[in-house]
Structure 1
């Protein structure tokens, strides 16, 4: 009786009825599609136990072509050099070092989950002192520690730098960041992080982008597959980011999740506008809407020019030389426009902003004003 009433209600509301196992059954939540992208679960979520671990270490880069730290301004570099030479059996006490081919660096790395001892990972190298470039340098053996203070990897190798720095007597050209680089596969894992994925009966799935609709759709997709595969639902949503999955018996955790991670779901996300004022970058989400507003935008330029005039006295008049001020003020307001902006969809919104003919900095100011007026139906994120 309950199944029949539930089926009639679902048909009236236009929903797709899906029943769970049980004596009476219940209707699973069926959310309306938002037209979002179709993604695999492995691309939008991660298992909680399979997380990266951050490593950090302090080391030296040698072999630089005169672009290293100046030991007067970076005394820690000289101290590190002396310590390294002493460990190699070379006494350096009482001598003043003047090398310019060494730089102190901070080495960072992310150790992926489930890596074993002997595996190699990439590391990033960043200058700590006043070195001008790390190009052509070699990272000396550097221990990498985790938050618990234990050494988990050791890094060493040639540093690859994407930027460059060229300087002459009257000009200097810099492209990219020459004081940061990377060492691909430069660290060897010495100690593995214990993982308990193999014997876990309950898996916690964390969405990369928290959203209630996406969490419910992931749960429904997993349960629909598990009913056909194992005869019962195994997933339940906890909040906007967490989905709990109970592993059926007689199947390994790795094989079980491998069957689930390729299931596809329709993802959703809140309407959001991301603004980076430093670079002038604007990212507008698909679901951003703007209520009908009138916008006036124009750049006001005030130019003040001082051209003082020197006035000389008449000959033999016992006068003094004076400076007569002369100020010229110009006011210019080009491209001042008043436009009506209405954004029922993303394409219309972008077209309306382009019609104003303003630069990205102007669009940022317009979006902030629209948000203050309450006409921007989205979150405005400033970076």
Structure 2
């Protein structure tokens, strides 16, 4: 009978590996990539869940925004300002920023994005706001790592999380301090790519592999003539492309749709020690090995009793009542059968053998680690 591992998943790759994939699924064009954008902004319109008077830079940012809009803010509007000026007045309660929160705004600028197109943006609180639900992000500049402004974001937030508290009780579902604005940013600047400015188009494979790179080079040369492509290293192929941009686009499109048989990846065993998930690739092999895995159990039981000496009929005894703890310690070692791996056994043999001894995920991880340490596991062991 085969026992299933608790919280353990084995991905079995027994299908035929010699299946062709498109070049576009195995590679990416060098220089054609996404870029990360980030900005700082304010979310307004919150229902009393903002930063309040606890975050000084929220008030300072609001002053800056109002000043840019031509609003003259006369007098302190934050607790920080009141203490700086030595002012203490109840009028301050009218200016608490309950409805405003400082946030960080992020977005991903895809390759070839043009001005006027929109981006989805993510918004997350950085102060003490308890929820961004119902808020609106006011105009926020999104910059790249070069400091240039590439997009402007603004709009109402979509927040999936919710938090409700009353009478000392609190219920929270999801994360109410982070939200999203679909299409909330407008692109203002285009990112130039080297796609049309180089004699060659470089294809980078998603995973470095000499076999895959060689196969891509071969299939391109077979279809477009010898010398069209050449391998640079284990992850790059240089292709001589037309200089006319329209012809180059068509040329790369045809290359991307070519089918190629990739090389089989290295034998790997990936173990997630937190979740107990184990992934074993199809090519994993084990040399001749005998394995046993025992489990030592220590049980300690204590019985508390009271010692009551005989006090005599008239109560004249000199005995003293004291508590007594009696401990019973037993050690049990669970018997585990030994199983033997024959030379060159495959994944199914490994799974069946380990299942037969009823190993838990933690035990399986220990077995795999021991096999690797002994040199019997012919695979790369990765623990995450």
Judged with a 3 Å threshold, the aligned counterparts in structure 2 of structure 1 residues 133 and 39 are, in CA distance, closer, same or farther, namely farther
Q: How far apart are residue 332 of structure 1 and its match?
A: 5.3
Deviation at residue 59 of structure 1 after TM alignment: 2.3
Instruction: Find 2:250's aligned residue among 250, 255, 259.
Output: 255
Q: Pick from 16, 24, 38: which aligns with 1:42?
A: 24
Distance in 1 (alpha carbons) for counterparts of 2:167 and 2:296: 39
Is 1:211 the counterpart of 2:209? The answer is: yes
User: Residues 296 and 196 from structure 1, CA distance in 2 versus in 1: closer, same or farther, beyond 3 angstroms?
Assistant: same
Per-residue CA deviation, residues 279-298 of structure 1 (Å, 9 max, x unaligned), is 33322222222233333334
**Residue 224 of structure 1 contacts residue 233 of structure 1 at CA under 8 Å; is this kept in 2?**
no
- Helix, strand or coil for the counterpart of 2:146? coil
1:294 maps to 290
Q: Deviations over 1:104-157 (max 9, x none)?
A: 332222211111111112223333234444444433322111111111112223
Matches within 5 A, 1:59-78: 59-69=41-51, 71-72=53-54, 74-78=55-59
Aligned equivalents of 1:82 and 1:321: distance in 2? 75
Q: How does 1:123-202 map to 2 (within 5 A)?
A: 123-165=121-163, 174=172, 176-202=174-200
Task: Provide the secondary structure at the position in 1 that maps to 2:190.
Answer: coil
Does residue 356 of structure 1 match 2:357? Answer: yes
Who is 2:374 aligned against?
Answer: 373
Distance 1:169 1:179 in 2: 22
The answer (yes or no) to whether the contact 1:308–1:323 under 8 Å persists in 2 is: yes
TM-score, length-normalised on structure 2?
0.76
Q: Which runs of no fewer than 5 residues in structure 1 stay unpaired?
A: 1-33
- 2:114 — aligned with what? 116
Name the counterpart of 1:16: none
Distance 1:130 1:305 in 2: 49
Distance change (3 Å), C-alpha of 1:341 and 1:148: same
CA–CA distance in structure 2, aligned partners of residues 102 and 325 of structure 1: 61
The match for 1:280 is 276
- Where relative contact order (Cα < 8 A, 6+ residues apart) is larger, the structure is 2
| Residue matched to 1:91 | 73
Structure 2: where are the runs of 5+ without partners?
A: 1-15, 80-94
User: Secondary structure of 2:266's match?
Assistant: coil
Match status 1:265 vs 2:260: yes
- The reply on whether 1:246 has 2:234 as its aligned counterpart is no
Contact 1:198–1:254 (CA under 8 A) maintained in structure 2 = no
Which SS does the other structure have where 2:292 is aligned?
Answer: strand
Distance 2:149 2:108 in 1: 13
1:187: Cα distance to partner?
A: 1.6
Indicate the SS of the match to 1:157. Answer: strand
Q: Which piece of structure 1 moves more, 346-355 or 261-270?
A: 346-355
Once structures 1 and 2 are overlaid, which stretch shifts more, 311-320 or 326-335?
311-320
Over residues 162-183 of structure 1, what are the superposed CA-to-partner deviations in whole Å (9 max), with x where a residue is unaligned?
Answer: 4555556686655554444432
TM-superposed CA distance for 1:48, in Å, is 0.7
Correspondence for 1:340: 340
Residues 192-230 of structure 1, C-alpha deviations (whole Å, 9 max, x = no match):
112242343211111111111111011111111112xxx
State TM-score, norm by structure 1: 0.76
State which drifts further: 138-147 or 42-51. Answer: 138-147
1:303-344 per-residue CA deviation (whole Å, 9 max, x = no partner) reads 545565566786676887755444344545558443335673
Between Structure 1 and Structure 2, how many residues are aligned? 345
